[in-house]
Amino acid sequence: MTTTIDSLRERVNQTAASGGRLVIRGGGSKSFYGRPEQGDPLEVGDWRGIVAYEPTELVVTARAGTPLRDLAAALAERGQWLAFEPPRFGDGATVGGMLAAGLSGPRRQAVGAVRDFVLGVRVLNGLGEVLSFGGRVMKNVAGYDVPRLMAGSLGTLGVLLEVSLKVLPRPVAEKSLRFSVAEAAALRMLNEWAGRPLPISASAWHQGVLTLRLSGAAAAVAEAHRGLGGEALDDASAETFWEDLREQRHPFFAGDEPLWRLSLPSSAEPQQVLGPTLVEWGGAQRWLRGGDARTIRAAAVAAGGHATLFRADVASRAEVGVFQPLSEPLARIQRRLKHAFDPHGVFNAGRMYPDF
């Protein structure tokens, strides 16, 4: 396995010396996300395998090329899982791609995002150096900010080699409920419920239907169900619904119209005037189809959030950009980080913003 790292290091050094660019590629399941790629592929998917797993410590360490399906299967044998429900978007999804994309599933509103579960990383930087940050135990905080920094960096800072993650036991009981309600009323309900000790682990509103998931101890789930009411889904239908939502197989996501992801305060007003809407995370995540980029981004800022062009054709991603434009102070910080990890600009050039 050391030979693989040596080979990667040599390729990085050669590319830096020639002024070239590399596109880091694991399973390719998230290649649609971000601005168009620039450079020659650097294949890292063969760097795989679980390095260490301590179920009693709730910690697993895996190489970045490890398929998410393999990691999930190993955790399931001990009744554990990645509680933030990372979307895969294909069988090729890897641990490294999961962290680099920084995406979380429906349970994010209850347990946190992928960055909250990262304990440590090993990274190959743009100087060909292998650096380690964080650790393999939950109480270790040395260098903790760098592992979290890697979440959502889209490979612009370096090649992820190894990731240590916190895992959790699967919930004992779950129940999904449905309510017929308009979006504005659904948002009020979700914000009111958020202030109560309810075991809500996920929510989604679309076309007049609010779907709620309860997770936890059997008694707590049953009591919450009695208090909230609603139409209960059978277990198989509920599992299919939340998995389809996570993997964007829900009918809302079908079609070729641009897909926008808005991150807003949960109490923000409905945004349906901008286009068809699906609401998640208690109102904090709003998905939109179609619409004008300038109008959508302005509306998101006015509501106290930001907008991301999540899926679109290559021309649209290049023309309007994917992520909300940064203020100059934030852009300076981003450029400094990029230079610190990748001074020659080798990795995933332009994937997030045109200049880094």
CB 211 within 8 A of CB 178: yes
Confidence of residue 2 (pLDDT cuts 50, 70, 90): low
Q: What b/e string do you get for 270-304 counting C-beta neighbours within 10 Å, with b at 16 or more?
A: bbeebbebbbbbbbbbbbbbebebeebbebbeebe
Compute the 3-state secondary structure of the chain and give helix, strand, coil in percent, each to the nearest 5: 35, 25, 40
Residue 285, pLDDT > 70, answer yes
State pLDDT tens for residues 323-346.
999 999 999 999 999 999 999 999
Residue 1, pLDDT > 60, answer no
The pTM assigned to this predicted structure is 0.93
Confidence of residue 356 (pLDDT cuts 50, 70, 90): confident
Strands 277-280 and 200-206: antiparallel
Q: Could you give the residue ranges of the DSSP H alpha helices within 54-162?
A: 68-76, 95-101, 108-111, 145-150
> What confidence score (pLDDT) does residue 112 get?
96
State pLDDT tens for residues 56-81.
999 999 999 999 999 999 999 999 99
Ramachandran angles phi, psi of 4, nearest 5°: -65, -45
Mean pLDDT of 236-260: 97
